[in-house]
Chain A
């Protein structure tokens, strides 16, 4: 049982490049989400999904796309990277009602130059 996995661990992009951050979980959780962590700002919700085929925007969705074709995977796409997207990105998953804990992946550190 690997929990929540994220790839890559580190990534450097040039402004305007695109990339996909991968997230997978093996706990059969319905709910998955993406957060970004910036100094002094805690974690902010980017996008979330309450099940396969269902996604919605969080607090800071601009510049990011998501899709959820399977229960296990929830990739985050940056269409045209900007320096303001330099951050640490965390994926999380949670079980159904009554399961309150969110499980976080180890994070992806992204630098956009």
Chain B
């Protein structure tokens, strides 16, 4: 079945450091790919998405590119802030599901220190 594998954490960075969280997926066809973020004590929020190969999703300085050839959707940010401390989840939705069903990775906890 469809699945997502993402980099295990936790990840601890200093402010202004570069962040990369790796995400690879297994799915048939062309799934939609997402990054969700969970701030402490809150529910998940959509950070960015991509729906077809070579699409680049971006939001709040974060970027991720849908790479069909490597089945990857790595999350990057060039200069992190303390406010970026959160748990980040990579997720996919099968092409035929109309984005109803999400399969999540295990989540990566990121802590940014001042």
A residues whose Cβ falls under 8 Å from a Cβ of B: 4, 31, 33, 35, 40-45, 48, 50, 58, 90, 92, 94, 97, 99-102, 104-107
Please judge, given known A-B contacts A100-B32, A100-B51, whether A45 and B43 are in contact too, CB under 8 Å: no
Please judge, given known A-B contacts A97-B98, A104-B43, A104-B45, whether A41 and B32 are in contact too, CB under 8 Å: no
B residues whose Cβ falls under 8 Å from a Cβ of A: 4, 32, 34, 36, 41-46, 49, 51, 89, 93, 98-107
Q: Are A102 and B46 in contact, CB atoms less than 8 angstroms apart?
A: yes
Task: Please pick, from A4, A48, A97, A100, the residue contacting B43 in the complex, using a CB distance under 8 A.
Answer: A4
Please judge, given known A-B contacts A42-B89, A43-B89, whether A48 and B101 are in contact too, CB under 8 Å: yes
CB distance from A54 to the nearest CB of B (A): 12
Can you spell out 18 A-B residue pairs with CB atoms less than 8 angstroms apart?
A35-B104, A42-B4, A42-B107, A43-B44, A43-B89, A45-B101, A45-B103, A90-B43, A90-B44, A97-B98, A100-B49, A100-B93, A102-B44, A102-B99, A104-B36, A104-B45, A105-B43, A106-B41
